[in-house]
Chain A
Amino acid sequence: MEDRLLIERCLTGEREAQRQLFEQTSVRIYRLLLRMTGNPDDAADLTQETYFKGLQRLDQFDGRSAIGSWFYRIAVNEALQFRRRQGVGTVKLQAVAPNQPTEAQRPRTDLELDMESALAELPPDDRALLLLRYQEELDYRGIAEALDCAEGTVASRLSRARDKLREILRKSYG
């Protein structure tokens, strides 16, 4: 109900309501984009693009899905388009920049860095899929909404993405 009222206010162009919506959802979106791109500057640019487009097109949000899924969908599309513009290639890892403190400022372990490298080698749509499920903890329905795909295909796509990731990790361990 709270969401709905806030969205109603956003739809009238009320800037304060739009700011509140941004405050409520932007950490998740920025975090996803940070791990999708591996670069804080790119993640910030794409987050900005996501909210600019999302708030402008909010009248197209039908209310049947969660507002988070709406922004996730735009964010993933922005990230995929960004990768296409950059040309196919792996993400240049820079996921933990000085202005991005991790928990208690600890350095990332080798295992974590291996995982980041492996994720970076995955095709971007597989990376988005895995991050939406295991980092953002969306259920299959939420993932289907965010990726605009059939819910019935999510399990098999996840299975393939996990297998690819496992294969990359195995290779990296020799």
Chain B
Amino acid sequence: MCCEQVERQLGRYVDDEISAAEREKIETHLGFCSSCQAELEEMRELVRGIAQPPAVTVPDFLWASIARRLDKTDRTISPARPLRRLRFRGAPWAIAAGVVLAVGLSMFGLSSLESTAHASTVDFGVLLDALPLDAQKAFRKFLMRYDAKPSTPVAAKRIASALNFDTPPVLPGGFRLQSVYELRIGGTRGIAAAYDRDGEFLAAVFHPPMKHEKFGSHENLPCVIGDHCGHKVQVGEWKLVHLTDPTTCHCLLSRVDEQSEMPAVMAAIAPKLTETGPTSDHHHP
């Protein structure tokens, strides 16, 4: 390596953004070139000068000011945060949310989303429409739609004691529990849980059986999971499957295989489902 080559690489060398082989070549050159050594020392001196971070204390009032502004925004926008949804231009559900917001605000002023979400309906349209883009974001939109609050497996059982469900720390197949949420669906409570298996997302939603559920433009078709009859909406690789017993609709959003993996996962999140026997009608158990 000549001086010119070393000088060109010296910045990367100082920044430790260089391969071991290049590093070795540069260090060999530096071993006998006093000119490049001086160049290196000058660069290090400069870097040390920039690197002196002042020891700072973040002003105490800052978080309070930020929280106040966020509170103000939250009061101006319903808990579903429709303005955030509308940023996803062109998404059909965003337009729908805008309509809901317009109707909701004109009818109820600054009322909460509960005014616009009927207790007899769960709207999965938000979740299904955004699935192909990003499943986790779609799930978060659904959580916001139903005013989700973080919870724990134990608290979820207590809050939704009328529902038959479980959120085990690990599901068959190795999905690990990431988070549990309490949902407000109209006047009733629901529970949602997010799981992960090496970056593969899976979510479960539990809610009381409803007369109607909305799936946007997606078709909800009968299906069989293990010994149970249920319904399924498919969006690309993603499936939203629901199995319903007299107390609970168990909704599973995943990409797992219906025949080989899904029955065991369903059995884990709906442990009493087997006792109730198969149900053929999802909405009218």
Chain A residues at the B interface, C-beta cutoff of 8 Å = 4-5, 8-9, 11-15, 17-19, 22-23, 26-27, 30-31, 34-35, 40, 44, 47-48, 51-52, 55-57, 59-60, 62-63, 95-96, 99-103, 111-112, 115, 119, 130-131, 133-137, 139-140, 155, 158-159, 162, 165-166, 169
Contact = CB atoms under 8 A, between A and B. Distances in A.
B154 interface: no
Contacts of B47: 134, 162
Given A12-B144, A155-B17, A102 B54 contact: yes
Given A18-B67, A56-B70, 19 more contacts: A13-B74, A13-B79, A15-B71, A19-B63, A22-B66, A26-B62, A30-B56, A31-B56, A35-B54, A47-B62, A48-B62, A62-B134, A101-B55, A115-B49, A135-B50, A139-B17, A155-B12, A155-B15, A159-B11
B194 to A, nearest CB: 7
Contact of B56 (A15, A27, A139): A27
Given A134-B51, A139-B17, A5 B56 contact: no
Contacts of A5: 178-179
Interface in B31-90: 42-43, 46-47, 49-59, 62-63, 65-67, 69-71, 73-74, 79, 81, 84, 87
Contacts of B140: 8, 11-12, 59
A100 B15 contact: no
Chain A interface, >50% SS class: helix
Q: Which of A12, A14, A23, A131 counts the most chain B CB atoms within 10 A?
A: A12
Nearest to A9: B150
Contacts, number: 136
Given A15-B70, A59-B137, A102-B55, A119 B50 contact: yes
A100 B57 CA distance: 7
B45 to A, nearest CB: 10
A22 B16 CA distance: 30
A101 B57 contact: yes
A-B interface, 9 closest residue pairs, ranked by CB to CB distance from nearest = A134-B50, A115-B49, A134-B51, A135-B53, A30-B58, A159-B11, A51-B66, A12-B148, A31-B56
